[in-house]
């Protein structure tokens, strides 16, 4: 009878322990082979820009091509869906961000200004100040040229004389300018949290995850989170598991540490 009880206890322990260990060793939770996108050689070439025929017209177009990268290259404009063609039509005047992506998921972006025939209105630049993780210190400052007085608005707000928008949280914003001809030009910009991997996130990962028996290389070189590219490759999964409390396997991290990981991932898991 005593042996039977011990066997039951052993089986019960296995039921508890195996799911926990899977967080370190289960293949579905661990990174795919790492691709170093900095070596992809992916570039965007702007081949042609057709200006809009009038202030209210949506007949402008942009054509781009790409070189480098691996496999098929697809293109996106202003965070829209990717497509095989590098031509974007039916555009109004504005500044557009075009992104190229290869089969490895490597991406590169460029900003393309599209004007109005015969008009001088244009957004020269938009400087961006980071918001801070879960904070609202973001700022957009617009430099523009046009005829007469230029007015500025953010998203669907009202036009204003000031070219600066403050108190912004992290996110994507559309800035629009208007001059005395009533022409309008828009540009989309992303305000980042500004969270640094090297200064704010790395220590959390090294202390709690890149430990013996887990993500320190014991379970394979591609699961070694002392290597930044491995962490970057699996950033979204790290965010998911730390936010729901599944990671770290032993111990816990604070709400502030969870927020820093999430903010860094939301910024694009940058090598910063």
Whole-number pLDDT of residue 224: 87
Whole-number pLDDT of residue 215: 84
Buried b (16+ CB within 10 A) or exposed e, 124-145: eebebbbbbbeeebbbbbbebe
Whole-number pLDDT of residue 33: 58
Whole-number pLDDT of residue 20: 42
Q: Are 115 and 52 in contact (CB under 8 A)?
A: yes
The order of strands in the sheet holding 60-67 is: 43-50, 60-67, 87-91
Strands 107-114 and 94-101, bridge-based pairing: antiparallel
Whole-number pLDDT of residue 6: 55
Q: Residue 260: is it exposed, middle or buried by C-beta count within 10 angstroms (0-12/13-18/19+)? A: buried
Per-residue pLDDT tens listing for the chain (272 residues) = 444 545 555 444 444 444 444 455 444 444 455 677 878 899 999 999 999 998 889 999 999 999 999 999 999 999 899 999 999 999 999 999 999 999 988 999 999 999 899 888 999 999 999 999 999 999 999 999 888 999 999 999 999 999 999 999 999 999 999 998 888 999 999 999 999 999 999 999 999 988 888 888 777 777 888 889 889 888 999 999 999 988 888 888 999 999 999 999 999 999 99
**Domain range list for the chain:** 37-114, 122-191, 195-272
According to CATH, what is the number of the domain 122-191? 2.60.40.10
Whole-number pLDDT of residue 29: 47
Do 37-114 and 122-191 come out as alike in CATH topology?
yes
Reduce the DSSP state of residue 83 to 3 states and report it.
strand
Whole-number pLDDT of residue 135: 97
Whole-number pLDDT of residue 165: 98
Tokens read off for 17: 């322990």
Whole-number pLDDT of residue 21: 44
Whole-number pLDDT of residue 83: 97
CATH 3.40.50.970 fits 37-114, yes or no: no
């Amino acid at each position: 009878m005593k042996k039977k009880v011990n066997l039951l206890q052993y089986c019960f322990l296995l039921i508890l322990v195996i799911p926990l260990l899977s967080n370190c060793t289960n293949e579905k939770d661990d990174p795919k082979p790492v691709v170093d996108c900095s070596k992809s050689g992916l570039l965007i070439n702007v081949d042609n820009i057709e200006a809009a025929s009038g202030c209210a017209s949506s007949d402008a177009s942009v054509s781009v091509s790409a070189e480098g990268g691996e496999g098929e290259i697809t293109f996106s404009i202003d965070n829209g869906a990717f497509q095989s063609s590098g031509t974007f039509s039916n555009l109004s005047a504005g500044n557009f961000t075009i992104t190229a992506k290869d089969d490895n998921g490597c991406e590169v972006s460029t900003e393309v200004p599209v004007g109005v025939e015969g008009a001088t209105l244009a957004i020269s630049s938009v400087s961006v100040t980071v918001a801070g993780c879960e904070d609202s210190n973001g700022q957009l400052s617009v430099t523009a040229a046009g005829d007469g007085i230029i007015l500025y608005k953010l998203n669907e707000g009202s036009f204003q004389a000031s070219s600066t928008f403050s108190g912004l949280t992290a996110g994507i914003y559309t800035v629009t300018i208007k001059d005395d001809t009533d022409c309008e030009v828009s540009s989309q910009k992303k305000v980042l949290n500004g969270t640094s991997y090297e200064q704010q996130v790395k220590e959390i990962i090294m202390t709690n995850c890149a430990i013996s028996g887990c993500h320190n290389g014991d379970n394979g070189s591609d699961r070694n989170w002392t290597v930044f590219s491995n962490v970057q490759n699996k950033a979204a999964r790290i965010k998911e598991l730390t936010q729901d409390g599944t990671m770290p396997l032993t111990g816990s991290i604070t709400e502030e540490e969870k927020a820093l990981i999430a903010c860094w991932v939301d910024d694009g898991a940058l090598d910063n």
